[in-house]
Structure formats: structure tokens, C-alpha cells
């Protein structure tokens, strides 16, 4: 499968030359197989993704509904033409709640167009139904994470290949066993590295983990590659390069917009 990162930024998009190398768009990840095109979150990175609606089953799974994970949804032009259904789902809520939350966000007074009244081909499905529809191709599981308002992490497995996305999560020691098992043998793990260890001291309860925790977790767990994402909006390319230089493990990298992995 092909795994592409469309957005690496946490909280809010960050335009500007000092963010151009890693990218300023908010969370969006894509898994493409012969039959399916699966997105995890639709932050502003979703805007430039090419939707393969005519060729594949397109489904968007949301980790949670904070604005940096949903705000790009109606800005992808491929979403608008009538035609093949696009599935929207989340393991965080049942389908009625998923629909109600998105409907509220994408309608007046927050947004000019009510997306569910104007786009009949958007089909909100329960996680179980969406998982079932894709199960011959990709096996999808979820795990509850620690984040204000809740969030879920997803694992996508095709044959022996596995991608795990753990956004947004405030890592705590009691999660270690459950997350290790969930990430076991992952080819790629997306980690919430919003903060550094020092920054995290003043940000307890904000729902995010640190770059140093990515290192510790990767050391302890059976993960082939950890990609740190959800970069803080103030973190410039120079800052990330400096943090990168401090990491000795070859199994850890920093996510960069438009980075693709063939696994």
C-alpha cells in the first residue's frame, strides 16, 4: 500500500517560508490500495488530495472532531461533483453523532454551505459498517486515546503491512501496554509530537505528547518506523531540523507534507 502524509501541523495552519519545508497544513493522512482510498482526518491537508472516487472506495475516518482535523473537508474540489458515494466515519461516535457534529460545524453560523444538504453523496456510516465494507481489502481497528473530548487511534493492516495513527494523544504510562500491543509490528507509526519534554511540563491536560516520548515509545515497542507529526504551529523548519539532529535512532523521523511511503 501507499501511505501519504498531506498535513503535519497541529492546531492551526501555518503559512510562511519558515514552515515551507515540513509544511503548514493540518492533519490529513492517506492510505491507498488497489481497491481503496482511505483518509485519516481531513485537516487543511485534505484540500490538495486527489480523490479517486471513480476507481476506488473512498472513506474518511476521523480520529476526533477538533477543528484542525476536520476543517479541510469541504475545501477539496473533488468532493463536490455528484456521483459515487464517499464514506465518512469515526470510531469515536456513532453515526448520528458524527453527522450531527459535522453538520453543525459546516453550516451557518460557522460555515456558508450546509454540506449534508448540498452533497447527497456524503454517506456517514458507523465505524462497524465502514470497517465491514473495507474488510476484504484493509483491516481497520481503533483504540481510545487520552485527549480532551476524546480521540481514537487507528490501525490499518493490509496483508502483513501495518500503519498506525495515534493522533491526538497525551501519552501516559498506563497506556504503554495497550498501545504497544496496538502498534505491534507496525511498519509506520504516526506519533503526536506536538511538544518537547520541557514544553509539556506547562501543557499538562492539553492532550498532546512529546518528541522525547516518541523516542522512548519507539525504543520499547516493536515499531519499524515512527513518524512524528502534529508539529506545534510555532515550530519552524529550523526548529524541527534542530530537534531532528538530537535524535539518534534511525527509526524516528519528522513528518513532512507530501511524504509518501510504499510499504
Tell me which of 6, 47, 66, 161 binds Zn ion, using CB under 5 A: 66
- The residue among 158 and 231 lying less far from Zn ion, judged by its C-beta, is 231
Smaller CB separation from Zn ion, 66 or 162: 66
Q: Name residue 95's beta-bridge partners.
A: none
68 interacts with Zn ion by CB under 5 A: yes
Report if residue 41 touches Zn ion, rule: CB under 5 A.
Answer: no
CA gap 26, 69 in Å, rounded? 7
By beta-carbon proximity to Zn ion, the closer residue of 134 and 254 is 254
Rounded to the nearest 10 degrees, the angle between the axes of helix 211-220 and helix 176-183 is 70
Number of residues that bind Zn ion (CB under 5 A): 4
Residue 218 buriedness (CB in 10 A; 0-12 / 13-18 / 19+): buried
Question: Which lies closer to Zn ion via its Cβ, residue 168 or residue 237?
Answer: 168
- Per CB under 5 A, which region of 68-76, 101-109, 216-224, 242-250 contacts Zn ion? 68-76
Comparing every residue's Cβ against Zn ion, the nearest one is 66
CA atoms of 23 and 20, how far apart (whole Å):
5
What is the nearest approach in angstroms of Zn ion to the Cβ of residue 205? 12
Nearer Cβ to Zn ion (26/33): 26
Residue 166 gets which letter from DSSP?
A: E
Strand order through the sheet with 151-158:
139-145, 151-158, 161-166, 188-192, 226-229, 252-254
Pick the stretch among 2-10, 14-22, 80-88, 112-120 that binds Zn ion (CB under 5 A). Answer: 2-10
168 touches Zn ion (CB under 5 A): yes
Q: Which three cell numbers stand for residue 146?
A: 487520552
Choices 6-14, 123-131, 213-221, 241-249; region in contact with Zn ion by CB under 5 A: 6-14
The alpha carbon torsion through 123, 126, 129, 133 (nearest 10 deg) reads: 50
- 6 makes contact with Zn ion (CB under 5 A): no
- The rounded distance, in Å, linking the Cα atoms of 183 and 177 is 10
Q: Is 192 in the site for Zn ion (CB under 5 A)?
A: no
Least Å distance, CB 120 to Zn ion, is: 29
To the nearest whole angstrom, how small is the minimum distance from the Cβ of residue 211 to Zn ion?
Answer: 16
Q: How far apart are CA 167 and CA 61, in angstroms?
A: 12
**Measured at the alpha carbon of residue 262, what is the angle toward residues 256 and 263, in degrees to the nearest 5?**
115
- Cis peptide upstream of residue 109 (ω within 30 degrees of 0): yes
Site string for Zn ion, 105-144 (x = CB under 5 A): ----------------------------------------
Decide whether 1 or 68 has the Cβ nearer to Zn ion: 68
List interacting residues with Zn ion (CB under 5 A).
Answer: 10, 66, 68, 168
Amino acid at each position: 500500500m501507499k501511505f501519504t502524509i498531506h498535513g503535519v501541523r497541529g492546531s492551526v495552519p501555518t503559512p510562511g517560508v519558515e514552515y515551507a519545508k515540513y509544511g503548514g497544513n493540518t492533519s490529513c493522512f492517506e492510505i491507498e490500495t488497489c481497491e481503496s482510498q482511505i483518509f485519516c482526518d481531513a485537516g487543511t491537508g485534505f484540500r490538495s488530495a486527489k480523490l479517486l472516487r471513480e476507481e476506488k472506495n473512498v472513506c474518511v475516518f476521523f480520529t476526533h472532531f477538533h477543528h484542525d482535523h476536520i476543517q479541510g473537508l469541504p475545501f477539496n474540489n473533488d468532493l463536490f461533483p455528484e456521483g459515487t458515494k464517499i464514506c465518512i466515519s469515526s470510531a469515536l461516535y456513532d453515526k448520528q453523532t458524527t453527522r450531527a457534529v459535522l453538520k453543525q460545524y459546516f453550516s451557518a453560523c460557522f460555515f456558508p454551505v450546509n454540506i449534508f444538504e448540498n452533497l447527497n453523496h456524503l454517506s456517514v456510516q458507523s465505524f462497524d459498517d465502514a470497517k465491514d465494507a473495507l474488510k476484504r481489502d484493509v483491516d481497520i481497528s481503533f483504540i481510545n486515546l487520552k485527549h480532551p473530548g476524546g480521540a481514537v487511534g487507528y490501525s490499518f493492516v493490509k496483508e502483513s503491512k501495518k500503519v498506525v495513527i495515534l493522533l491526538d494523544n497525551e501519552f501516559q504510562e498506563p497506556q504503554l501496554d495497550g498501545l504497544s500491543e496496538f502498534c505491534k509490528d507496525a511498519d509506520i507509526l504516526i506519533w503526536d509530537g506536538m511538544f518537547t519534554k520541557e514544553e509539556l511540563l506547562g501543557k499538562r491536560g492539553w492532550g498532546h505528547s512529546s518528541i522525547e516520548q516518541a523516542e522512548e515509545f519507539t525504543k520499547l515497542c516493536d515499531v519499524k518506523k515512527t513518524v512524528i507529526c502534529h508539529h506545534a504551529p510555532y515550530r519552524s523548519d529550523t526548529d524541527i531540523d534542530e530537534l531532528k539532529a538530537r535524535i539518534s535512532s534511525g527509526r524516528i523521523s519528522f513528518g513532512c507534507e507530501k511524504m509518501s511511503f510504499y510499504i
